[in-house]
Amino acid sequence: MATDARGHTVPASTDHPSRADLLNLALSIRDAIPVANVTARAALIVTLSGLGITASTSNPIMVFRADAGDGLELEVTTDGSTWRTIGANMGTPVVTFTSANASSVASGVIVVPSTAFPAVSHATRVFVQVTGQAGFNAAAVDVAVSIGGSYAVTQGAVQVVPAPAAKYVSVSQSGYMDIPAGSASGAINIASSSSAGGCYYRLSVVFTRVNI
């Protein structure tokens, strides 16, 4: 087998055509793979791994997740577990929040003040990307994160993830909030929730503001 200029796996000049060659070519095409939700996304990674395909910086895996918010469906991973919304990469990050230490809470809200997004004369969109871990409760617990704000927020379906006792699980959420032209600045809230007290959250939140 050989690799063409676009990085696809193709038969070498000395190979005889075969069905296996066609399968290898199809598997090497890095198109967006449709998935229904994060459960189907995780199952896809397992399936691809069984076929010898592992996500990396040289082999990113991209999906189109149906239950994500409008404009947020395209997601990419380079490690098989951390996903980034492609749409949220537009523009320049205006403020970044990272929780310095895990805090034990039954639920909590990270409030990003309106001063982070000052009023401007034109309409803008603030993309929000939340990634991190939650869990490490004494007993098994269900965890989730969601996004709210001063204006209507479009976000993917909130995913409730079961965390085994004394274990962390990955949590993520993405969305955006539109701030109308000439309107007062808007604040954004990142809400964490769990089905029992004593749950830990370690979250990184990146905001990107662009003109619309």
| Torsion angle (degrees, nearest 10) of CA 191, 192, 193, 196 | -140
Q: Which residues pair with residue 110 across a beta bridge? A: 190
Q: Work out the end-to-end distance of the chain between its first and last CA atoms, rounded to an integer number of angstroms.
A: 46
**How many of the other CB atoms lie within 10 Å of CB of 211?**
11
Model confidence at 105, pLDDT cuts 50, 70, 90, reads very low
2-34 confidence digits (pLDDT tens)? 655 545 555 666 766 676 766 665 566 777 888
27-84 pLDDT per residue, tens: 667 778 889 998 999 998 998 888 888 999 888 888 988 887 666 788 889 999 888 7
69: nearest Cα among 158, 183, 154, 141:
154
Q: Which CATH code fits 91-211?
A: 2.60.120
33-35 vs 61-65, strand pairing mode:
parallel
Enumerate the domain spans of the chain. Answer: 2-87, 91-211
In this structure, how many other beta carbons lie within 10 angstroms of the beta carbon of residue 95? 16
Cα–Cα distance for residue pair 179/124, rounded to 1 Å: 5
Residue 58 backbone zone (phi > 0: left; psi -120 to 50: alpha; other: beta): alpha
